[in-house]
A and B are shown apart, each in its own frame.
Chain A
């Protein structure tokens, strides 16, 4: 973008103004989010003051608990345990779900045969899967992660099946004529076409998975955010429950901003920029 030379202004001045407004434009959404969250905290504080109760602590009290838990290391230990389970269940669910989804999307008869199974698994409550996994495979880490993954896999299958149906046969034919190897086909032809569907499945997946992980931890694990929430539920300590919940939500937000969005920007770099 080059500004036309107006003559009465040094050329640097126009650039300075546009870069300042550029910074302001970049900061506006961040500021909006900050003000919005601050407003929510304020509202929460006012409500907590109006109805003082041990069951409804204000933001200040939750913050104190958060700092205390962080100082003695409990917070990070349990956040780490939950995050590990979320990551493991996510990877298992995405890999298995994508493979099944692509196979169903590209084979009509298989799709017709397995469609009822899919509807069945989509509608089995998460709780049932978790309880059965613990009964059949014992109270161990594999059962916990497997149960979460099984809950998520049908959703991934449905999304990836749509993705496989939308594959452009022209690219596959081009790859066949030029004799692309299997790995090249997956990496350069298949995955880039599935990328929007992978992103959609990931987005909805992480949010769903972490909620199910809490239930898994509550029912059969001795660490993690879910276990801590169960502990503080028995003590009726609402401030601690909120502290753990908000801490984990914050972690997920950071992951979204620092991991998911940059990866997505990288994956869609080839799309024509909006003018």
Chain B
């Protein structure tokens, strides 16, 4: 649809990010972190807890401007970004549908969302308030909000954390269904290797704090072929390439 040359991938080049505590102690969170996510690719940032994954995401979302370095978001298309956080962060005083529509630009406010709500199993819950939803359903509403905006790039920050494994698994499949229908450049932060192998085209492996890229792990196999047998092969080859990670 777009000329190849005009499409810039997500390019990250953060030289340094340091936190200063109130006592004046400085902690280096990120150091020489650079990677790229290609157009239409689903990438995962994988690293141990507390290594600075969420910090990276906050910088890319424009919420943290106190760092040295640069990054480039995909241009063309809507050039909007969307995010799904660890918590759903829905406005509790607005219904599920209002929450989704408020995130849309004015020109798209009235657009038909039936298909999206149906896919995510939220069709009957559009008029409920977030307090009336389970955590799993609230996460789905947050996914609906993110995909409804048709973003140029989608950021996901451990969107399935603190769910029981069955609910998380179902949500991962839902995410794949929605994503395959609307392929979007996506960057997901996770510390769950299985989740990363199941969802992504490529895994960006981060080292302990201060975070930098240890290496890349490409999963070229189409997602429908990633059955349990293949997954355990993938796991084995991942552990061969990155011993001691995850």
Query: Which A residues are closer than 8 A to B by beta carbons?
Result: 170-171, 173-174, 176-181, 184, 188-189, 192, 195, 270-272
User: What CA separation (Å) do A178 and B90 show in the bound complex?
Assistant: 12
Q: Is the CB of A171 within 8 A of B149?
A: no
**Chain A residue with Cβ nearest B94:** A188
Q: Shortest 3 CB-CB distances between A and B: which pairs?
A: A178-B103, A192-B93, A270-B129
Query: Is the CB of B42 closer than 8 A to any CB of chain A?
Result: no
Chain B positions within 8 Å of A184 at CB level:
102
Query: Is the CB of B219 closer than 8 A to any CB of chain A?
Result: no
Chain B positions within 8 Å of A188 at CB level:
91, 93-94, 98, 102
Shortest B237–chain A CB gap in Å is 36
Q: Is the CB of B87 within 8 A of A170?
A: yes
Query: Is the CB of B66 closer than 8 A to any CB of chain A?
Result: no
User: What CA separation (Å) do A45 and B129 show in the bound complex?
Assistant: 52
Q: Is the CB of A177 within 8 A of B93?
A: no
Shortest B135–chain A CB gap in Å is 14
Q: Is the CB of A192 within 8 A of B89?
A: no
Query: Is the CB of B46 closer than 8 A to any CB of chain A?
Result: no
Question: Taking chain B's interface residues, is the majority helix, strand, or loop, or is none over half, making it mixed?
Answer: loop
Query: Is the CB of B63 closer than 8 A to any CB of chain A?
Result: yes
Chain B positions within 8 Å of A189 at CB level:
91
A178-B89 CB under 8 A given contacts A271-B131, A272-B131 = no
User: What CA separation (Å) do A178 and B63 show in the bound complex?
Assistant: 12
Query: Is the CB of B81 closer than 8 A to any CB of chain A?
Result: yes
Query: Is the CB of B160 closer than 8 A to any CB of chain A?
Result: no
Chain A positions within 8 Å of B129 at CB level:
270
Query: Is the CB of B76 closer than 8 A to any CB of chain A?
Result: no
Q: Is the CB of B94 within 8 A of A177?
A: no
Chain B positions within 8 Å of A174 at CB level:
83, 85, 89
User: What CA separation (Å) do A173 and B58 show in the bound complex?
Assistant: 10
Chain A positions within 8 Å of B93 at CB level:
188, 192, 195, 270
Chain A positions within 8 Å of B81 at CB level:
177
Q: Is the CB of A170 within 8 A of B85?
A: yes
Chain B positions within 8 Å of A176 at CB level:
62-63
Shortest A183–chain B CB gap in Å is 11
Give the residue among A173, A195, A270, A272 with the most B Cβ atoms within 10 A. A270
B13-70 interface with A by 8 A CB criterion = 61-63
A and B contact pairs by CB, cutoff 8 A, 16 listed: A171-B89, A171-B91, A174-B85, A177-B61, A177-B63, A188-B93, A188-B94, A189-B91, A192-B91, A192-B93, A195-B93, A270-B92, A270-B94, A271-B92, A271-B131, A272-B131
In the complex, per-residue mask of B97-136: 1 if CB is within 8 Å of any chain A CB, else 0 = 0100011011000000000000000000000011110000
User: What CA separation (Å) do A188 and B91 show in the bound complex?
Assistant: 8
Shortest A142–chain B CB gap in Å is 36
Q: Is the CB of B132 within 8 A of A272?
A: yes
User: What CA separation (Å) do A147 and B87 show in the bound complex?
Assistant: 47
**Chain A residue with Cβ nearest B103:** A178
Chain A positions within 8 Å of B132 at CB level:
272
Chain A positions within 8 Å of B98 at CB level:
188
User: What CA separation (Å) do A198 and B85 show in the bound complex?
Assistant: 29
Query: Is the CB of B80 closer than 8 A to any CB of chain A?
Result: yes
Chain B positions within 8 Å of A170 at CB level:
85, 87, 89
In the complex, per-residue mask of B172-201: 1 if CB is within 8 Å of any chain A CB, else 0 = 000000000000000000000000000000
Q: Is the CB of B89 within 8 A of A180?
A: no
Query: Is the CB of B10 closer than 8 A to any CB of chain A?
Result: no
User: What CA separation (Å) do A195 and B94 show in the bound complex?
Assistant: 14
Shortest A59–chain B CB gap in Å is 45
User: What CA separation (Å) do A176 and B83 show in the bound complex?
Assistant: 11
Chain B positions within 8 Å of A179 at CB level:
80, 105
User: What CA separation (Å) do A133 and B62 show in the bound complex?
Assistant: 48
Give the residue among A173, A184, A189 with the most B Cβ atoms within 10 A. A173
